[in-house]
Amino acid sequence: MTTQLSSEMAGIPVQQILPTSKLIGANQICVSSCCGHWQDVQPGDVYVAVIGSEIDGHEFAYEAIEKGAAAIVTERLLAIDKPQILVQDTRRSYGEICHALAGAPSQRLKTIGVSGTDGKTVTAHLIQSILRADQARVGMISSIEVTAGTEGHSLPNKQINPPAIAEHLSAMVIGDCNHAVVEIPSMSLADRSLSGVKLDIAVLTNIRRDPDNCHGNSKNYERAFLRMLDYLNPGAMAVVNADDPKSHFLLDKIIHPTLTIGVKQDANVMGKVLQRSNCDQVFTITAGSESVVVRTSMIGDQHVYNCLSAAAVGLSLNISLQTIAKGIESAGQIPGRMQRVECGQPFGVWIDSATSATQLANALRTLRQVVTGKIWCLCSVEEGQSKLQRRMMGEVAERAAGQAIITRTSADPMVDYEPIHQVLDGFENPESAQVVPNRFKAIEWVLSRAQPGDAVLISGCGERPFALVGENKWTIADSDVCEAWLYDNSSMLDDKFQPDAETIYDIEDYR
């Protein structure tokens, strides 16, 4: 027996949201709420049987019905006594339903998507800064934070799903924003988490080797980025890095108007480095017959590309080059992205979120361009890295750094040495690496040994806290440990300071 849902039910007719769907067991189904996880179903919800990488939501349709689901969105006909909505892809349908229920917020904003292997977080923040320099009200979804106008809050370090994106974009509309910047990880493109979003500008920073090894092969990885173009509105703009080989080859597949950026290849927006030191760099941005000089506190070739991508977005929105330069310069440092820690010490200290071999290589290459002394690299092991990725990180650390220190991204006292050994597998001479599993002591160890003119790279965590300390559960990040040690030991940091081999400092000594 099938259930006939009244055409007068509150909500949006499902065929208005999913016009190609087929209704089974009802003449009309109106959606007022939906859920993609059976555990969270509330009475009256439409349950979407999302197929994930490990779990098939179709297997939990009966549980969803027992919790009160009014109808099931499914890719195959199920033996149930509730109305069914047959679709080709439940992941896509889930996003489209979420955004329709939220009032299609991306279509009420000038929405800019930023994706790529490296540089997407920094590029998103630069675009936000440029828009603010142009007096726009802008919201942003990035791996660091979500902002809706002037308000912001930290995001948990996890994948953003369709209801979360819809909720954040709705908050921007309510906050009277007129622009939205969305950082889009490749996995969010692969699993259709962006479905329901309409983009006015899509930025592709670069396509390198899959840092997480989670797409299966390079073709799937490239295909994921191409999927971002499916979300572009008619007449929308794409921004592509012409210097990046794989991105360059995608140009023929892009049917939308495109702005290219580059330093080496001819492009619509060109950059040229004029001066670079360990604390800033100066470069020009040229578009057509106009040029502007920009000085940034973030250094490295990757940051120049990030700035050019952000500038191309600004130009596509008819923002002047002078305002673009002002926005880039006012962005300052981005937390955990080649973030320089300056406490008066005679050597450089940088904090970066690099957790892959490619990211680590980029960070070390940046430092080698401006540092004449020894480079000390704190290389981090964390959950989710593959054996191959850890071995490749070891190869990069040994080849590009003067001294590699291997530690973990957690302060958990229980130590599993197997992941550390997997990093050491990438070393030709593993005895050259220093293994300090305790992250507190690893940072203290390297800071106590760096000499004037050296560079210290603390990689792995970036802006993310790695420990909770004290009864009040204070969050501790790499920058906290570095600043505390450097300020408390500033009198020791001179040309004559030679740390004893046994010297080590504890976090409690200076907290």
What is the reported pTM? 0.87
Question: How far apart are the C-alpha atoms of 30 and 15, rounded to whole Å?
Answer: 9
Q: What is the pLDDT of residue 154?
A: 59
What tens digit of pLDDT does each residue of 324-370 get? 999 999 998 999 999 999 998 999 999 999 988 888 999 999 999 88
Residue 82's nearest CA partner among 7, 28, 2 is 2
Band (pLDDT 50/70/90 cuts) for residue 422 is very high
- Answer yes or no: CATH 3.40.1190.10 is held by domain 105-331: yes
Q: What angle do CA 404, 397, 299 make, to 5 degrees?
A: 100
Question: How far apart are the C-alpha atoms of 28 and 376, rounded to whole Å?
Answer: 65
What tens digit of pLDDT does each residue of 4-25 get? 333 345 689 999 999 999 999 9
Domain boundaries, the chain: 12-101, 105-331, 339-510
Q: What is the pLDDT of residue 1?
A: 31
Phi/psi of residue 285, each to 5°? -120, 125
Question: How far apart are the C-alpha atoms of 84 and 215, rounded to whole Å?
Answer: 31
Q: Decide which of 3.90.190.20, 3.40.50.800, 3.30.465.10, 3.30.450.20 is the CATH code for 339-510.
A: 3.90.190.20
What tens digit of pLDDT does each residue of 168-194 get? 999 999 999 999 999 998 888 888 888
Superfamily of domain 12-101: MurE/MurF, N-terminal domain (3.40.1390.10)
3-state secondary structure of 66: helix
Tokens of 503: 């010297």
Which residues partner with 239 through β-bridges?
203, 259
| Number of Cβ atoms within 10 Å of the Cβ of 509 | 11
What is the pLDDT averaged over residues 285-296? 95
Which residues partner with 307 through β-bridges?
none
Band (pLDDT 50/70/90 cuts) for residue 506 is very low
What tens digit of pLDDT does each residue of 262-279 get? 999 899 999 999 999 888
Q: What is the pLDDT of residue 158?
A: 60
Per-residue buried b or exposed e for 19-52, using 16+ beta carbons within 10 Å of the residue's own CB: eebebbbbeebbbeebbbbbeebeeebbbbbbee
What tens digit of pLDDT does each residue of 461-490 get? 998 888 877 666 788 899 999 999 998 886
> What interhelical angle do 301-316 and 120-133 show, nearest 10?
40
Identical fold for domains 105-331 and 339-510, yes or no, is no
